[in-house]
Amino acid sequence: MLIGVDYHPSFQQIAFFAEETGECGERQLNHSHGEAERFYRDLQQRGTRVRVGMEATGYSRWFERLLAELGFELWIGDPAEIKAKRVKKQKTDRKDAQLLLRLMREDNFPRIWVPSPENRDLRQLLWHRHRLVQMRTRIMNQLQALAMNEGRRWKTKLWSEQGRAELEKLALAPWASRRRQELLDLLDRLHPTIEELTVAVEREARKRPEVVRLMTHPGVGPLTALAYVLIIGTPARFHCGKQIGTYVGMIPGEDSSAGKQRLGHISKQGNSLLRFLLVEVAQAAARSNPEWRRRYMHLAMRRHRSIAKVAMGRKLAVRLYWMWRNGCAYSSSLEFGSYVGQLGTGHGVQ
């Protein structure tokens, strides 16, 4: 039985077709009352072989686990490609489910790579640490604002023992004083939690040889290397390094026609955490590595610093891809410039 599922958090609209009997139909299955789970368990009890197709979406982990438990095959499709295959400008839940079913029957379903449950769980570790760091940064900015309102502009000195003591001694109004104390309490609780998560990230990074290899690149630490490996999955998914920039969403949008090229902002059609880390690491590499700094300054003078940061992040993503794919550590001999006369691959061709 082939089932096209238009998934929503509270329900799913399905269109099904049984290949042996030719039976077809449509149903709407509710999630909160267990109607959807009973439907699929009933198919499993009857011994029906099932293949389910759905768009990549959020809030569907329980559904994916259910299908895996029942031994059903699950195909997850690229939403952009599925949308491009819609002929009529009419979009309803029924038509979406019918479209997914038709693509499966025609063997034209745009399947995408799906990470393993372990991979997804480790991504939660990275996201959790990233969000807590963002919360800590916002708290520290608020404390800096309180100090500057009292004429104290200490910058990073505020976080030393002496700066903390001076901040606590400031004479503030009652509500401002309460805000200062509660922000400091939150900061004290976040510090050990973030440190614990950082140790966990480093421990997971040391378990994977490919992550350790990527960490040999200037500026790349356990967090970025582990995030890169988890989100990219395997280098075999990509034929050349240019596809990495597209996958991460660090290439400009394009609307060209009649021989005139129009480039816009970067597409951002990728993992936002990996994109953020790549840009941050590229800036760190530009500060510590002379070759990276020279390349960054050249781009910044030609265009703009913000554009140069993204461009260096994209170059870093491609560099890490080739290090991973070729199984080699970082080498200063393969820096920017001409590769004429050097052994290796060029333009993604082996």
Amino acid (1-letter code) at residue 260? K
User: What letter does residue 250 receive in the DSSP assignment?
Assistant: -
* Of residues 240, 255, 242, 132, the one with CA closest to residue 196: 132
**pLDDT given for residue 342 in this prediction:** 44
SS3 337: coil
- Give the single-character DSSP code of 111: B
Is there a contact between 230 and 115 (Cβ–Cβ < 8 Å)?
yes
Angle, alpha carbons 245-75-88 (nearest 5°): 80
Residues 246 and 139 sit within 8 Å (Cβ to Cβ): no
DSSP-H helix ranges across the chain: 35-45, 61-70, 79-84, 93-105, 117-149, 161-169, 174-206, 209-214, 222-232, 242-248, 272-288, 290-302, 305-326
Bridge partners of 30, per DSSP, are 11
Pick from 129, 144, 147: which is nearest to 190 by CA?
A: 129
What is the rounded distance in angstroms from the CA atom of residue 83 to the CA atom of residue 273? 25
Residue with tokens 């198919």: 43
Which regions of the chain are under pLDDT 50?
A: 337-350
Provide the β-strand partners of residue 281: none
pLDDT of the residue at 338: 42
pTM recorded for the entire structure: 0.86
pLDDT score recorded for residue 333:
58
DSSP 266-325: E---S-HHHHHHHHHHHHHHHHH-HHHHHHHHHHHHHS-HHHHHHHHHHHHHHHHHHHHH
CA 256 to centroid of chain Cα atoms: 28
Predicted pLDDT at 337: 46
150 φ, ψ to 5°? -100, 15
Partners of 3 in the β-ladder: 16, 52
Distance, C-alpha 184 to centroid of its chain: 31
pLDDT at 334: 57
* Tens-digit pLDDT profile for residues 256-288: 888 888 888 888 888 999 999 999 999 998 888
**In whole angstroms, what is the distance from residue 136 CA to residue 189 CA?**
10
Burial class (CB in 10 A: 0-12, 13-18, 19+), 26: middle
Residue with tokens 């399905």: 14
